[in-house]
Structure 1
Amino acid sequence: MSPDSQHSLSATRLAALRRELAGRGLDGFLVPHADEHQSEELAPSAERLTWLTGFTGSAGSAAVLADRAAIFVDGRYTLQARQQVDTRLFEPRHVTEQPLSAWLAEHLAGKRLGYDPRLHSQSQARRLQAEARRAGGEAVAVETNPVDAVWDDRPAEPAAPVVPHPLAFAGRPSAEKRAELADRLKAEKLAAAVLTQPDSIAWLLNVRGGDVTQTPLALSFAILRDDARVEWFVAPEKVAGPELQAQLGNGVILRRPDELCEALESLGKVRVLADPGSAGAWIFDRLAEGGSEIVEGDDPCLLPKACKNPVELDGTRAAHRRDGAALSRFLHWLEETAPSGGLDELGAIGHLAGLRAAGERYRSLSFSTIAGSGPNGAVIHYRAIPATNRTIRPGEFLLVDSGAQYLDGTTDVTRTIAIGSVSDEMRRRFTGVLKGHIALARQRFPAGTTGSQLDALARMHLWQAGLDFDHGTGHGVGSYLGVHEGPQRISKVPNSVALRPGMIVSNEPGYYKEGAYGIRIENLVAVVEDARPGDEKPMLAFETLTLAPIDRHAVEPALLSAEETAWLDAYHARVRESLSPLLDGAARAWLEQATAPLIG
C-alpha cells in the first residue's frame, strides 16, 4: 500500500473512531500496541495501532482526542513513525523526551479519556489514571473497545493447534516445574497465581503454539494453584490429540477462555498472586470483585524460565551452530553478489530466509528480518517493503538483523557488512561499536550485578567520541520462545534483576547516522559461572553463543588494543572451528578468509 493510500485510510478510520467515542460520551481514547497478554508480537486481530495509524513497529501508542491526536514511540522507531504515519493526523512524539503525561497535561483538562483495561497492565492503568488526574481530566475504563466497534474487517482470533514441547528440548517435565512453583506459593501463603503471559504458560506446561507469527505461543490464561494444579483457559479447538493430552495429565484442567472472569471471582477470600507489570487491569478488578487478597508480585515463571537448564543451553548452542552456518552461507553469497549492484534489500532478506528454512529443526524466523542498506540502516527497526526497498550499493553498509526459531533454541544476530570499500569515518564508527561489543563480551562481574550496571561498557568508546545509540544494549532471549524475554536486560534504564547463570541476553551496541548509515553488532551470550583462583566473590561471565564472522573489512585495526584484537581473532578461530564442518566448497573457503587473523 502506498503512503498516500495508507494516509487516506487513517483519516477515514480516525474519523470513524471519533464518532464512536462521541457516541459513548468519551472525549478521547488511548490505543496501545498491546493485546490482553501485553505481548510484543501481536496476532492480526490485535493490531489496532497499525490499523488506525499505519505504524508497524513493535512498541508504541496513540492518543486520540476530538481535535488532535499523537503517536508515541521510542528511539528505535522515531524515523519509522514519521515514514509510515500521516503526521498531519498524528503528532509524532518521542515517548521519553515528549511523554504521554506531558501531552495530557496540555490537552486533557476537563476531558474523559477512555482506555481498555484488558490492553493495559495494572501498573499502566494506575499511571494513566494518575496522569489524567494531574492533567485535570479523567481516565475511564471501557467495557468494550471502541476501535473494535469501527474495525469492520477485523481478522478472527487465532486458533492454531497446541503441540507438546518434548522433554528432549525442554529439559524438565511440566509436573516438576508446577510442583516447584506450587511449593513457592505455599511458602508465601498464597493459594494461587494468575498467569497471563503466554510464554510463561508455554514454559510451565511444556507446550508450544502458533497463534503469533514467529513466536510459538498459544494465546491463553492460566491459574496455578498451591497444590500444583493448573486451570488452563484456552480455546478447546487448539488442544487436541492423545500425545498432548497425555503430556498435560490430570494436573492440568482445561477450561474455555470465557470462563476466566467467573473463575477469578470465584477464587474468593484467599491470597492470590498477580503481576501488576503484565496482568491486565481487568484481572485485578475481577479478583477484587470476588474478595481475594491480591498480592502484587512478579509472574512466578519469569526467573526459572529465564535461567535455562543444561538441556536448554546445549540446545541453544546447537541451534546457534546451525544458524551460524546458514548466516555464513548468506554472507559468502552477499560478498559475491552485492558489489555488482543488482541486489536489493528484499532480495537479500528472501535469500537468507531460504538458507535458514533448509536447516534442521527450523520452525520459523524469530522476527521479521531487518536489512537496511545505506540510510535505511539508520532506521533502528527498519522493515523493508516495496515502497522503501533499496538497491545494495558499493561504498555503503548493509545492516542485517535476523534470527530463527528452532525446536532447540531461538537465535538473534546482527551483522553490519561493508559493501566494497567504505569511508574512513564509517570504519572508525564501526570499530567504536566493535570495541563496545568486545568490552561487554570480555567482562567478568560479581554475582548480583544487574545489566544496567554493565551497560556503560558497551557505550564508553562511543561516548568518548561524543556518540551514543538510542536503544538498550541487551534483551533476554527464550528457549524456542520469545526473541525478547525478561526480566533481565542490559540497558541505561535501571533494572533490579541481577544476571544469573543460565540467562541468555543479547550484546548489541550500535551507532546510527540519520540519512547515511547504521551499524549494529549483535551476538547472544549466556551468563555462566567463572570461578578463578584468588577470587573473593562468586564471579560470572558471558559465554558467546552466536557464531558468525564479524566483517573484518569494516574494522580499523589501529583503533583496537592488543587485547581487543586478540578477542576478535579468538572469536573468529572459534567460529571457523565450529562452522567449517557444516560448510563445504566455496563457502568453507570463504569462511577461512573471513575468520583469518585481523593482522597478519
Structure 2
Amino acid sequence: MLQDFAQRTTPGTGAARVAALRGAMAGAGVDAFLIPRADAHQGENVAPRDERLAWLTGFTGSAGFAIVTAERAVVFVDGRYRLQVQGQVDQAVFEIRRIPEDTAADWLTEVLPQGGRVGYDPWLHTAREITELRDKVGSRQLGLVPGANLVDAVWADQPAAPTRPVVPHPADLAGRSSTEKRGAIARDLTERDIAAAVLTLPDSIAWLLNVRGSDIARTPVPLAFAILHADARVDLFTAPEKLDAAALAALGPEVRVAPEAEFGPALDALHGRVAVDPATAPVWVFDRLDAATGCEAVPERDPCILPKAQKTGAELAGTRVAHLRDGVAFAEFLAWLALTAPEGGLTEIDVVRRLEETRAATGALRDISFETICGAGPNGAIVHYRVTEATNRVISPGELLLIDSGAQYLDGTTDITRTVAIGEVQAEAIRPFTLVLKGVIAMSRARWPQGLAGRDIDAIARAPLWRAGLDYDHGTGHGVGVYLGVHEGPQSLSRRGLEPLLPGMILSVEPGYYRDGAFGIRTENLVIVRAPETPEGGDRPMLGFETLTLAPIDRSLIDPSLLDTDERAWLDAYHARVLAALGPLVDTETARWLTGACAPL
C-alpha cells in the first residue's frame, strides 16, 4: 500500500541498455524495434516485469513509447509528460518527440531506408495499432516483423510475473451477479450469431466475474485472459495458484480455470464467429485466430466495457459512501496541512505520507488509486509529477501546492485534486486559479441533450481559460471505476471523447493551468452522469452531473470579482454541502478549520 519514493530505474544506464538492445536487434535481423509502455493487457498500470520502457529509457510516465534503431533512439510522450521526460531521459542517448504532433510512422519513414525491417512484440501492440502503422509506412515498403521481445532478451534481472490471489467481490456491492452479467452478454452474442468473445482487459474480466486481485499496483485486478462463450460459460486463463477453494467456489462450475499457456490452444479450438476488440486485444490474438481452422475473428468492442461504465445503483451507493469516508480523511489532512505547512520544513514526501496515513486510519483503505501527485512550486507545473527521494522539495511559505490523489476502497474508487496556498498567497496565481474554478463550476452545472459525447462538452470547462488566452494539455476528465481502475473507458471529457455520455457513468472534472518553473493549478471533482429534472417548458431529454467529491476549495486563491452571481451561489452551496456532510464526522480541530474553509464567499 505504501507509496515508494525511490527512482524506478538506475540513472546513467540508458546508453548501455540501448547498446545491448542493438546487439539483440542485429541478431534478430531488424533495423528498428518498438518499445511501448504497455503489457499484454494494454493497461495504464503495468507489473514491474512489464516496465520495459522505464527500464530502457528512465521515463516512468504512464503513456509513451520508444523506438531504437542502429544509430538513433527516440522517446515519444504527450503534453502531460513534456517536463517529466526531460528530467528522466538521457538526451545524449534519446531524442524526445511529442505526441500527437510527431508519430512513429513519420519518424520511421524519415530514418529507415526503403525496405527496412521494424521489429515488435505482438503481445504488446493492438491489432488496430499495427494495422494503422503498416498502412502508414507502406509507402517506403517498411516491413513490420513480429517476434520475441528483444528488451526481455537483454534484461537480465527482469522481475517474475505476479501471482497474487484472486478474491471474490461482494455481490451486494456489485449490484449484479456474475451469472446475470454473463447471461446478458451471452444472449447478445447469440442474437448476433457470435460463438464467443475474447477478453484481454483485466478490469473487464474482474467486472464480469465479480472478482478482484492485486497483480497490478493501485488497480485491484488479476492479470488474466478469458473467453466468454455464447452459452455463458467462461474459460479463465491465469495462474491456477492465484485461486483458492473459496475463489473457485465463488466463480462456480460455469467458469473453467486454466494456465495462461492454454490460452493459445483454446483459441485454436474455437469455431464460428469470434468477437475480439481491435483497440485493446494484442495483435497476437488476431494472428492466432486467423491461423485457426473454422474460425472467423470479428472486430468488435469488448462487450464488458459499456455495461461496466454504467454503474448499478449498488455501485453508485457504495461510491457515495466511499467519497464521504474519503472526504473525512481528506478534510483532516487539509486541516493538518493548513496548520503545519506555513511553519516551513515540510517536504513533498512528508505530505504524501501524511495523506496516506489519514486514509489508512479509516480502516477501509485497500490501496491508493494511483501514485500521489504532490508538487510544490515549480514541481506543480509537471502535470504527472511523481515525487522521489531525488526530486523531493521542501515546501516553502508563499508557494502553491498541488495535490492529486485517490484511494481504493472496497465500495468505491476516489480521485481528487486540490491546489492550496502555503502561507501568503501568490498574487499572480489568483486569476488563473479562479479561471480554473470557473471551468469546474461551468462543467458541474452543465446540461446537455442526450446523445452527446465528452468531446461535445469538453470546451465548457476550457472556455474561461480560453477567453484569457490560456489552456491545458490534458483532458478535462476521465472515466472512473468502482474498486477498479481510476482511469476507465470508454467515457471521457476530452477532445478525443467519442463515447456518448450515459446515466451511471462516473467521470472526473479537472481543468488546470501550469506555468513552467513557477506553479501548477488543478481542481478536480468526480461526478456521476444523471438525468436532471426537466425545466418548465423544456421539451428534450437532458443529462447533467451530480458531484461526488466532498472537499473545500481554497477560498484564499479565489478572486470573487471574477465570479458571477450563479457561480458564487454554486460555490457557496457546494461548501455548505461539504460542511454539512463532513462536519459531524471529523475531529473537533478539523471541524473548526472546516467551518472557516467552507464559509460563504
TM surpasses 0.5: yes
Cα deviation, residue 2, structure 1: 10
Distance 2:498 2:192 in 1: 21
Amino acid at match of 1:277: A
Secondary structure of the 1:64 match is strand
Cα deviation, residue 130, structure 1: 2.0
- Please state if 1:517 is matched with 2:510: no
Distance 2:567 2:353 in 1: 34
Residues 428-467 of structure 1 aligned to structure 2 (within 5 Å): 428-467=431-470
Secondary structure of the 1:272 match is strand
Secondary structure of the 2:356 match is helix
Aligned to 1:75: 79
Cα deviation, residue 530, structure 1: 1.0
Amino acid at match of 2:463: M
**Contact (CA 8 Å) 1:106, 1:135: kept in 2 or not?**
no
Residues 86-485 of structure 1 aligned to structure 2 (within 5 Å): 86-110=90-114, 111-142=116-147, 144-241=148-245, 243-268=246-271, 270-291=272-293, 292-485=295-488
Distance 2:582 2:140 in 1: 58
Q: Deviations over 1:175-205 (max 9, x none)?
A: 0000000011011111100000000000000
Amino acid at match of 1:591: L
Residues 541-552 of structure 1 aligned to structure 2 (within 5 Å): 541-552=544-555
**Contact (CA 8 Å) 2:117, 2:143: kept in 1 or not?**
yes
Cα deviation, residue 109, structure 1: 2.4
Cα deviation, residue 463, structure 1: 0.6
Secondary structure of the 2:520 match is strand
From 492, 505, 508, the counterpart of 2:507: 505
Amino acid at match of 1:240: D
How many residues align? The count is 594
Distance 2:139 2:435 in 1: 44
**Contact (CA 8 Å) 2:406, 2:416: kept in 1 or not?**
yes
Larger deviation, residues 580-589 vs 124-133: 124-133
Cα deviation, residue 7, structure 1: 4.3
Distance 2:28 2:498 in 1: 42
Distance 2:548 2:6 in 1: 40
Secondary structure of the 2:13 match is helix
Cα deviation, residue 52, structure 1: 0.3
Cα deviation, residue 17, structure 1: 0.4
Aligned to 2:41: 37
Structure 2 unaligned blocks of 5 or more? none
Larger deviation, residues 48-57 vs 535-544: 535-544
Q: Deviations over 1:439-484 (max 9, x none)?
A: 0000011111111101000100111111100000010000000000
**Contact (CA 8 Å) 2:6, 2:389: kept in 1 or not?**
no
Residues 564-575 of structure 1 aligned to structure 2 (within 5 Å): 564-575=567-578
**Contact (CA 8 Å) 2:174, 2:315: kept in 1 or not?**
yes
**Contact (CA 8 Å) 2:417, 2:525: kept in 1 or not?**
yes
**Contact (CA 8 Å) 1:108, 1:136: kept in 2 or not?**
no
Distance 1:234 1:167 in 2: 22
Distance 1:472 1:190 in 2: 35
Secondary structure of the 1:77 match is helix
Cα deviation, residue 152, structure 1: 0.3
Cα deviation, residue 136, structure 1: 4.0
Q: Deviations over 1:392-418 (max 9, x none)?
A: 111111000000000000000000001
Q: Deviations over 1:295-316 (max 9, x none)?
A: 1111000010000000000000
**Contact (CA 8 Å) 1:474, 1:506: kept in 2 or not?**
yes
**Contact (CA 8 Å) 1:104, 1:135: kept in 2 or not?**
no
Cα deviation, residue 14, structure 1: 0.7
Aligned to 2:557: 554
Aligned to 1:587: 590
Cα deviation, residue 584, structure 1: 1.9
Larger deviation, residues 528-537 vs 63-72: 528-537
Distance 1:553 1:100 in 2: 45
Secondary structure of the 1:505 match is strand
Secondary structure of the 1:8 match is coil
Cα deviation, residue 360, structure 1: 3.7
**Contact (CA 8 Å) 1:414, 1:523: kept in 2 or not?**
yes
Amino acid at match of 1:552: R
Aligned to 1:9: 13
TM-score (norm 1): 0.97
Segments of 4+ moved more than 6 angstroms = none
Q: Could you tell me the percent identity over the aligned residues?
A: 55
Q: Deviations over 1:26-75 (max 9, x none)?
A: 11100000000001000001000001011110000000000000000011
Distance 2:361 2:267 in 1: 45
Cα deviation, residue 246, structure 1: 2.1
Cα deviation, residue 344, structure 1: 0.7
Distance 2:478 2:337 in 1: 28
Q: Deviations over 1:522-567 (max 9, x none)?
A: 0000001113243212111100001001111111111001100110
Distance 1:162 1:13 in 2: 35
Aligned to 1:84: 88
Cα deviation, residue 340, structure 1: 1.3
Distance 2:359 2:6 in 1: 30
TM-score (norm 2): 0.97
Distance 1:455 1:293, change over 3 A: same
Cα deviation, residue 135, structure 1: 4.0
**Contact (CA 8 Å) 2:369, 2:415: kept in 1 or not?**
yes
Cα deviation, residue 234, structure 1: 1.1
Distance 2:140 2:585 in 1: 61
Amino acid at match of 1:166: P
Distance 2:185 2:363 in 1: 34
Distance 2:434 2:140 in 1: 47
Aligned to 2:24: 20
Q: Deviations over 1:127-173 (max 9, x none)?
A: 2222332344222111x111101000000000000000011211111
